[in-house]
Amino acid sequence: MKIKIKYFAFYRDYFKKECEEIVLEKPLNVEDVFKMLLKSSPLKEKLLSSTLFAVNQEYVDKTHVLQEGDELIFVPPVSGG
Amino acid sequence: MQNRYEKQIKLSEIGEAGQKKLNAASVAVVGVGGLGNVIASYLAPAGVGRIKLIDGDSVELSNLHRQILFSEKDIKENKAHAMHKKIKELNSTISVESFPIHLQKNNIDKILSNVDIVVDGTDNFKTRFLINNFCKQNNKTWVYGSIDQWHGECAVFRSRGPCLNCIFPNIEEGLFQNCNESGVLGPSVGMVAMFQAQLVLQEILFPEGNQSFLYLIDTKNFEVSKIKIKKNKNCLNGRTSLPEISYNTYLNWKKKDKNIILLDIREREQYEKDALEGAEHLSYRSLLQSPDALKNYDKDKTYVLYCEKHLKTPFAKGVLEENGFKNVFILDQGYDTLRHCEECSNVAIKAPLSLRGVEDDVAIL
């Protein structure tokens, strides 16, 4: 199952890319995918709870299960002004 | 005679009626830095009738690349005052008020209570959540905006829709950098601010919008994502993160919900001498002695507690919650402060009914 992930702001710097496609062996939810991608970060729990997730341009809960062809966006809060 | 607004009046969606709405509107711009500069410089020429500018900072040389209304001669001047002069030059027909202070819990009621829309020009989430909770509790719309490097976000939060706390319930300041540390180009800030200014004008002109969106603005690749957002069922209209409320917020809630009960938890003699209007009495002492003191109170109603100095109320709130009361709030100031607070001239102090009855009897005699 293939999904597309778009990174915004902090996550674009973190992953050093704007987007990528990944293949999931089994259906996973947003939290699973997030932790899989940030597995080396000691802050992943904090980052998870502070990040907004959108699938196909709609806000979703981290328990949302992803489907083939979904576009998942990681949106951190942005604080400057 | 030329009408300064004729080009926008010509838009069929606006017309003379729309212009009247703009002229009658009142908007507060909180933070007059990069975002606030551009926001105010579009709201004033559009004829937004009353604009409040709030900022405690002064203009610095390093601000000028993005805070485009400020010039070198404004350096060291307070930003709210400097912007006041600038936008009066842009449009002398509107009313402008400037507040050279940071928005805080103890001044937010006074500054924002009579505005229609609040717009965010701040650079921190502490102030944004202060605005968010105030607007939720007082049924106001606010327009969020922020920028970090190339990436901006903005959204309209209406009282009946999702709020900032619904979409970012666990923000830790500093976990993600802000633009003071990581840099930003002037036009990137301007792009986000123009979205905000446009959203403010559209909220005034077409306030019936139901859908809520978070706009993600990639100012480097010129991409905008429009994310549909919704209420978070665990977010109680901004109340969850703010068990303390101001006296004005209590008054606003009371207007809408007559069942809210104001509870004075001081000693009986103090309550009988004088108390806040409409308060019922339940002494802290009796609460500590036995939960039986609560047996006549409906657990499903909303309670707002106060004491002398705001010291006992957190503990009393805990006792109520341990006994199954779900909606318990405390006033953020004690009675002793409210009683003598000149700024809170609307604080209604009256002897409770029982005592007023005695006084009436005395008067008749």
A47 CB neighbours in chain B (<8 A) are 175
Q: How does pLDDT run across A28-56, given as a tens digit for each residue?
A: 999 999 999 988 777 788 889 889 999 99
Instruction: Please determine, looking at this structure, whether the domain spanning A2-75 carries the CATH number 3.10.20.30.
Output: yes
Smallest Cβ distance to B170: which of A9, A49, A80? A49
Q: pLDDT tens digits, chain B, 365 residues: what are they?
A: 689 999 999 999 999 999 999 999 999 999 999 999 999 999 999 999 999 999 999 999 999 999 999 999 999 999 999 999 999 999 999 999 999 999 998 899 999 999 999 999 999 888 999 999 999 888 899 999 999 999 999 999 998 899 998 999 877 666 776 444 678 999 999 999 999 999 999 999 998 777 999 999 999 999 999 999 998 877 755 444 456 788 888 888 888 888 899 999 998 999 998 899 889 999 888 887 788 889 889 988 899 999 988 777 877 887 888 788 888 888 988 888 888 765 555 677 765 544 433 333 333 22
Q: Which residue has the tokens 């069922």?
A: B233
Q: How far is B34 from chain A (nearest CA, A)?
A: 6
pLDDT at B51: 98
- Cβ contact B66:B123 at 8 Å: no
Closest Cα partner for B120 from B86, B68, B172, B155? B155
A12 CB neighbours in chain B (<8 A) are 151
A45 CB neighbours in chain B (<8 A) are none
Q: How far apart are CA B128 and CA B142, in angstroms?
A: 10
pLDDT at B231: 87
B175/A47 Cβ within 8 A: yes
pLDDT at B258: 83
Return the structure tokens found at B107.
């001044």
pLDDT at A39: 84
Helix locations, chain B, DSSP H: 6-9, 15-24, 34-46, 79-90, 108-112, 125-137, 164-167, 179-182, 186-205, 247-256, 268-273, 284-289, 313-322, 335-340, 353-364
* Homologous superfamily (CATH) for B244-364: Rhodanese-like domain (3.40.250.10)
Cβ neighbours of residue B209 closer than 8 Å, sequence gap 6 or more? B156, B158, B202, B203
Q: How far apart are CA A78 and CA B218, in angstroms?
A: 12
pLDDT at B237: 53
Q: How far apart are CA B168 and CA A8, in angstroms?
A: 15
Helices H / strands E in chain A, number of each = 3, 5
pLDDT at B24: 98
Q: For testing the chain A interface, which of B189, B216, B228 should be mutated: the one with the most A CBs within 10 Å?
A: B216
Burial class (CB in 10 A: 0-12, 13-18, 19+), A59: buried
Cβ neighbours of residue B359 closer than 8 Å, sequence gap 6 or more? B351
Q: How far apart are CA A11 and CA A13, in angstroms?
A: 5
- Cβ contact B53:B98 at 8 Å: yes
A10/B122 Cβ within 8 A: no
Return the structure tokens found at B15.
């017309």
pLDDT at B178: 47
What CATH number does the domain located at B6-229 have? Answer: 3.40.50.720
pLDDT at B346: 65
Closest Cα partner for B80 from B102, B63, B109, B111? B102
Q: How far apart are CA B252 and CA B1, in angstroms?
A: 45
A52 CB neighbours in chain B (<8 A) are 167-168, 214, 227
pLDDT at B241: 44
Half-sphere exposure of residue B114, counting CA atoms within 13 Å on the CB side? 7
Domain boundaries, chain A: 2-75
Cα diameter, chain B: 83
Closest Cα partner for B202 from B11, B22, B4? B22
ipTM of the complex, rounded to two decimals: 0.93
Return the structure tokens found at B338.
């409210």
B176/A50 Cβ within 8 A: yes
pLDDT at B240: 43
Q: Which residue has the tokens 């006792």?
A: B319
Interface of A with B in 39-68 (CB under 8 A): 43, 46-47, 49-50, 52, 54, 57-59
